[in-house]
Structure formats: structure tokens, C-alpha cells
Structure 1
């Protein structure tokens, strides 16, 4: 079996020095769809270096991203990229991300779960610079065909969205070349660019990166319910419930606890679907915690 669970869990944490600058941040923002309209004052916060702030989901690609193009994640794990899907992502911010920085990322395999026909690998990262912790993240990798080894099934968290109508709903168009642009931030998996490779994974055409949808959703929520203030975000978690094809439209529904998104709220629940495919689910169990 390509996954040696005991070896993966026993491996020493890997420390990697990472660095980024304003060009990396600008490219990431463009990769998740920022800059439309190009001269809009609110969009210039994402696309003009003199006004630049950093959307916290940039942490998922800072320093080139956590993954490896050959499927080698760490000791004990060597998987086929055609069998890999992103299952979920959780990000905790310890303070606002700087426009440029140098830091150390400490990564480890936190868990390997047996889902029967698939395995779920939880990759944990802790990132700190000379001033202390910056962010923590859990990256859940779903590997088809690698389950059935008798391991723990793992936790099942399914926070249900409120039954009332959403407080806000925003449609986010995805450009046809969005995946080609997003991959320049470090995720080179050919599943998102090569039609022949996508076909081997069972898709009609290349699909959008899950983390691209993740970033686009956080931007929509931040701009709609948090006044565009990225510094208010404390954590952001989601489960990837379905694929997105470049050229589609994301519909982001949002529910704010408390006062409907005002300064006193601390939690926003979101659900994301693909408009053109009868509201097929894209992101589920999505929660943003904020000040």
C-alpha cells in the first residue's frame, strides 16, 4: 500500500523556510478572481501594491504551497495524483498576514483516516516568523482507493446551515482561464490544466483548484459582510463537497450569527454551489470566525 500509516505518523516534523512578497500576494488575489472591475476602489485593495492588504487564505499558498507535484507528501506516503482530491481545509490566523515576510513552516502528518474506499490524510502546518506564530492550518487530502486498511474512520463534523433564508447571497463568476492563473501560485497538479490527465481522473475537463474556490469564497464573505476588513478574520474552515469547472459561477450564500453581519457578530456560515449545474454543492460545512 502506498500509505504506511505508522511511518507517516512517526515521521519527524519537517521545517521549511518560506518567503513571499507583494508580487506573490497580487498574483494570488488575481488567481482567485480579484480585480473585477479593475478600477473599483474596493478591488484595488487586492490588486494595487500601494493599497494592498492580504486575504488570509493567501496562507495556503505562501512560500509556494504545501504540496508536491509528484505526490510525495512525506515519509510513508507516496500517492497517485490522479487519485487525490482535496477533502477539506481549516486555517487559524494568529495575526494579520504581512504583505511580505519570511517565516518557518513546520509540517507533519497529524492523522490518517480509513474511509473504506478512500484514505484521508490530515497535513498540519504551523507557521511562525521572528515575531511569533502567524497561522496554523489543517489540509485534508482525500485519496481514492487507499482505504480499507482497518484504521480509525475519524471525526464526522457536519454543521448544518441555518434553515432561514441567507442574510446575503453573491454570485462569483469564474473565468475560463482561472485555474491556469491560480496554479502559478504553486499548485502544479496537472488535474487543473491538462485535459488528458483530467480524463484519467474521471473528469470531462480540468477542474478548478478547491483552494481557488476557498479563496474566492472568503473574499466574497469579507467584502459582503465584513466591510472588506481582512484583519477581522480569525479562522476559516470548509469541506470540499464538489468540483467546479472554469467558466462556471459560484453562488455564495451567507448566514451571520447575531446581528446579521455587524461588528458584534463572531461567526458566519456559508454554503457554495455551482449555478450552471442546478446548484450542485461546491463547499459545505463552511465557517468563518471573526472579531
Structure 2
């Protein structure tokens, strides 16, 4: 079979040096939809270098280069068709605030291969540290259609009993996305043709190019920070989600937020307004100080 789980898990870690500066941070923020209205002081925290703060989800693109999904596919023992690959989920833990500019060492390896029956899921963990110690750890879950069924472990189901999952949300926010949102976000380093080439998107089973899951991921985290944390990006400690569906550029996200019974956790769900709230993010949690 194209995925040799034992070989992928045994592969040596891949180490790379990464750097970033305020230009990379501002481009990322614009790529997820920041800067509207352009003169709003709350938006200038994301776009003006003299006031700049780094949304923690920037960690998923820091240093440029291919995203975790693509890096997972270059692991020994993994040989699959890119058109059958989707981003299944993302888990980010922030150990310290992400600086506006920096350099660090990123160490990545496949730490799990799950058998979902009709698909396989690879989990690529990347640990990033600079001279002062750990900065962040992220895990990308790579969903490969048609590669399951070999009898492996299904993997954990991520749910949290501490946050309400039913009932009316505490907050509902709508965020409009640009028609060229995916083209702009691609400049952060993810050049997968699924997000730009109509022909490739059709081969993957979509009507047209879809938005990057990590673009939705970042846009939703910004919504949480701006709505519940008064724009203070340094309070975010962790953020995880499962990608439950696709977003097309130009659509509107409806983001629902449920606060925990106590401080420090919020559950998030996001859907698409124009498609009867078709789900795009599920089982999402943001932990904060």
C-alpha cells in the first residue's frame, strides 16, 4: 500500500532552520483577512509595524516553505496522490509569545498513523525552539482518502467535557472573506494548486478552488482574540480544531463561541452562511490565560 505506517513512524526527524520578520507577520495577517477597516486601531495591531502583535496561528507558516501537510507527504513510507489529500485537523500549543522577528530550529516527524477505514490520517508534529527554549509545538493531521482499511488504530476522538456543546452560543460573529483570499494566503508559503487551479480542484472533487484550512483556522482564532480577549494575542496558550468541510473564497464564516464553565477555555464552531451553515471547523478549542 502507498502508506507504509511502520516506515513513516521510524523515519528520522527532519530539522530545518527558520526565520521570519515583521513583513512575514503582516502578510500572514492580511492573508487571513486582517486590516478591515484599514484605519481601525484594532486592525492596526495586525498590520502596522510600529504596533504589531503576532497572532499565534502565524506559527503554522513561520519560516515559509511547504506547510505541514506537504512536509508529511515527503516522509519515507508515504507515496500518495496529492489530489486525495485533505488537511484533517490542526493542534497548536504556544510555549511563549511568538516574536515579531526571530530565528529558530524546527524539528518535524510523523508521530502517528491512524486507520479510519476509508482513509488514513498522518500526524506530523513540529517542535520549534530558539536560543531561549521552546516556542511552540504544532501537529498537522493529514487526511488521505482511500488509504485506510489495513487494521491499524483509529486514533483518539477529540472532545472536551468542560465546554458546552449544545444550546445557544455565548457569541456569534460573521466574517466575510475576499474573493482572492486563497490567492493572497498562498503567498505565505502554501502553493498547493487545490487553492488556485480550477482544473486541479475539479480532479480533487471540488467545484472550484477551496480556501486553505489554515487560512480559516487563523481567521477564526483572530475572531476569538478580538471578541473575547480584547485583542490580546499573548493570552492564547493552545488552539486545536478538526476541519469538517471546505470554505470557498468570497464566502462568509459564521463563528459560534461557547465559554467554558470557568475561565480559560472556549469552544468554537464555524460554518458557511451562504450554504446553510455548512460546517467547516468542529471540535475546536481555544485555551487562554
TM-score bucket (shorter structure): over 0.9
Give the whole-Å Cα distance in 2 for the aligned partners of 1:123 and 1:129. 20
| Equivalent residue, structure 2, for 1:262 | none
Query: CA–CA distance in 1 between the matches of 2:190 and 2:175?
Result: 22
List 4+ stretches of structure 1 deviating above 6 A. none
Q: Which residue of 2 aligns with 1:212?
A: 215
Which of 222, 228, 243 is the aligned partner of 1:240?
243
Instruction: Measure the CA separation in 2 of the matches of 1:20 and 1:71.
Output: 22
The Cα of 1:78 is off from its aligned counterpart by 2.2
Corresponding residue of 2:55:
55
Mapped partners of 1:189, 1:81: distance in 2: 9
What is the correspondence of 1:80-159 to structure 2 with a 5 Å cutoff?
A: 80-159=81-160
Provide closer, same or farther for how the CA distance between residues 16 and 166 of structure 1 changes in structure 2, counting only shifts above 3 A: same
Cα distance in 1, alignment partners of residues 39 and 208 from structure 2: 33
Question: 1:69 deviation in Å?
Answer: 5.7
Specify the SS of the correspondent of 2:89.
Answer: strand
Aligned to 1:24: 24
**Mind listing any 5+ residue stretches in structure 2 that lack a counterpart?**
none
Instruction: Please give the root-mean-square deviation of Cα atoms over the aligned residues, in Å.
Output: 1.4
Deviation at 1:72, TM superposition (A): 3.7
Question: Deviation string for 1:47-100 (max 9, x for gaps)?
Answer: 000100000000000111534769842111122110000000000000100001
Task: Give, in angstroms, the shift of residue 255 of structure 1.
Answer: 1.1
Q: Which residue of 2 aligns with 1:174?
A: 177
Contact 2:127 2:137 in 1 (8 A): yes
Deviation at 1:213? 0.4
Distance, in Å, in 1 between the alignment partners of 2:198 and 2:212 is 14
- SS of the aligned residue for 2:58 comes to helix
Distance (whole Å) between structure 2 residues aligned to residue 72 and residue 115 of structure 1: 18
Provide the secondary structure at the position in 1 that maps to 2:99.
Answer: coil
Deviation of 1:3 (Å):
1.1
Question: What's the secondary structure of 2:63's corresponding residue?
Answer: helix
User: Quick check: 2:72–2:110 contact (8 Å CA) kept in 1?
Assistant: no
TM-score (norm 2): 0.96
1:253 aligns with 2:256: yes
Q: Secondary structure at the match of 2:175?
A: strand
Is the CA contact 1:67–1:187 (under 8 Å) kept in the aligned structure 2?
no
Provide the C-alpha distance between the structure 2 equivalents of 1:107 and 1:205, rounded to a whole number of angstroms. 32
Distance (Å, rounded) in 2 between the aligned partners of 1:71 and 1:288: 25
Query: What is the total number of aligned residue pairs between the two structures?
Result: 286
Contact 1:71 1:81 (8 Å CA) reproduced: no
TM-score (norm 1): 0.95
1:86, 1:196 → 2: CA distance? 19
**Aligned with 2:248: secondary structure?**
coil
In the TM superposition, residue 2 of structure 1 has moved relative to its aligned partner by 1.8
Asked whether the equivalents of residues 69 and 188 of structure 1 are also in contact (C-alpha less than 8 Å), the reply is no
How much does 1:185 deviate? 0.3
Helix, strand or coil: the match of 1:162? coil
Are residues 1:188 and 2:214 paired?
no
2:72–2:124: 8 Å Cα contact kept in structure 1?
no
